[in-house]
Amino acid sequence: MTGPPQLSNDLDALLRRVARGDNDAFAAFYDHTKSRVYGLVIRVLRDSGYSEETTQEVYLEVWRTASDYDSAKGSALAWLLTMAHRRAIDRVRSEQAGSRRESRYGAANVDMASDVVSDSAIAGDERRRVAECLKGLTDAQRQCIELAYYGGMTYAEVSQRLAANLSTIKSRMRDALRGLRNCLDVP
Residue number with CB closer to another protein (56 or 103): 56
User: What three-state secondary structure class fits 137?
Assistant: coil
The closest of 9, 17, 11 to 33, measured between CA atoms, is 11
Q: Looking at residue 10, what DSSP letter applies?
A: H
- Residue number with CB closer to another protein (99 or 167): 167
CB of 17 to another protein, least distance (A): 13
Smallest gap from residue 125 Cβ to another protein (A): 10
Q: Least distance (Å) from another protein to the CB of residue 176?
A: 8
Query: Is the CB of 16 or the CB of 34 nearer to another protein?
Result: 34
DSSP annotation of 136: T
Q: By CB under 8 A, what part of segment 25-84 binds another protein?
A: 26-27, 30-31, 34-36, 38-40, 42-43, 48-49, 51-53, 55-57, 59-60, 63-64, 73-75, 77-78, 80-82
- Positions 155 through 174 that interact with another protein (CB under 8 A): 155-156, 158, 167, 170-171, 173-174
128-147 residues near another protein, rule: CB under 8 A = 130-131, 134, 145
- Report how many residues bind another protein under the rule CB under 8 A: 74
- How many other C-beta atoms lie within 10 A of the C-beta of residue 15? 22
In SS3 terms, 34-78 reads as HHHHHHHHHHHHCCHHHHHHHHHHHHHHHHHHHHHCCHHHCCHHH
Q: How far is CA 4 from CA 32, 117, 154, 186, in A?
A: 12, 19, 32, 12
Distance of CA 108 to the CA centre of its chain: 14
How far apart (Å, rounded) are the C-alpha atoms in residues 8 and 19?
Answer: 17
Least distance (Å) from another protein to the CB of residue 139? 17
Ranges within 94-133 binding another protein (CB under 8 A): 94, 112-113, 115-117, 119, 121-123, 126-127, 130-131
To another protein, the closest distance from the beta carbon of 178 in angstroms equals 9
